[in-house]
Amino acid sequence: MNYPECITLDNYLHGEDKFVYTVGRGLNWMIQCAKDIGSGAFGVVKRARWRNRNIALKQCMKINDFTDTKKYLNAINKETKSLVSVDHKHIMKLYGTSSHSDFLYLLLEYAENGSLDDYLYGKNQNRYKMSNGINLMNQLVNGLAYLHEKKPKPIIHRDLKTNNLLLTKDYTQLKIGDFGIAKELATKNTTNKGTVIYQAPEVGSSPAIYTEKCDIYSFGIILWEVISRRKPFDHLDDPNPIACFYKTEMGDRPPLNIELITKCEPLQNLIESCWNHDPEKRPSAKSIQISKTMKNIKKLMRKM
């Protein structure tokens, strides 16, 4: 099915809490907002209905918050065209963008089971199974390989973390969310601990250096977190964002003296290679995928 590259908002019906969009050849499609399902630097995220499917409607920054509005909108349109073309079962679908009352909105695929962070630490953490955690990490690798191999140029997420990995199908399917356009729209993308603890050391350079290997570093941190079920750098006496990033730049990493890691040499080797200080020494997502490393790790862990 083909989706529009851009969806233009006509008006907002305040009394009924509905958005009216014009899509394609002047066809009106009603978006019915059910309830708030999240909030953050962006603002509110609502669960909604559009074209007979559940979606997540995410409010972004005010357009007039940018000094060069035209440049900003051109960048968003370019990013949207790139991301609407993304079609992979482990990547959250962007259906389109819209604007209303100086705000931008993203129409996104809906993930009914929340984030990986919720799964690890939230009210449903008792449902967590290590075997499923490894499966989800294998899916993350597959999604990253797709993004990094995209033509004519790779798509780099730049903000991978457990909060940006969404789950569906009773927690068994992972979808990468909040990439690309979301990074550009965030009001705070490097100052909160939730992001800094997953960032590669080279991101701290001026200007920041973003390559596919930044995502691989983040993957290594997330893989450690899924195995340990601990927040990265929780061992620090002062785990504030500046302290965490300073430690990262100095070569510090989350501790590997965790039984499941020390007993599985391929797992430890993969984690260490992914968060290597030298980006050139980190593996590509494609190489991890081709080697079937994650599946082999799962087989070894079954024997423990």
Please identify every residue annotated as catalytic.
Answer: 159
Element (H, E) at 69: helix 69-84
Q: Which of 20, 32, 26, 41 is nearest to 194 (CA)?
A: 41
> What is the chain's length?
304
- 60 in Cβ contact with 72 (< 8 Å): no
- 58 in Cβ contact with 32 (< 8 Å): no
Quote the strand ranges of 127-259, DSSP E. 165-168, 173-176
Residue 292, annotated as binding a ligand: no
- Cα(121)–Cα(14) distance, integer angstroms: 36
- 261 in Cβ contact with 268 (< 8 Å): yes
Query: Cα dihedral sign for 237, 240, 243, 245?
Result: positive
In the chain the first and final C-alpha atoms are separated, in Å, by: 45
| Gyration radius from the chain CA atoms | 20
Rounded (to 5) percent helix, strand, coil in the chain: 40, 20, 35
Backbone angles phi, psi at 144, to 5 degrees: -65, -40
| Distant-in-sequence, close-in-space partners of 303: CB < 8 Å, separation ≥ 6 | none
Count CB-CB contacts under 10 A for residue 101: 8
Q: Which of 81, 73, 83, 98 is nearest to 21 (CA)?
A: 98
Beta bridge partners of 33: 48
Binding residues: 58
Binding residues for ATP: 58
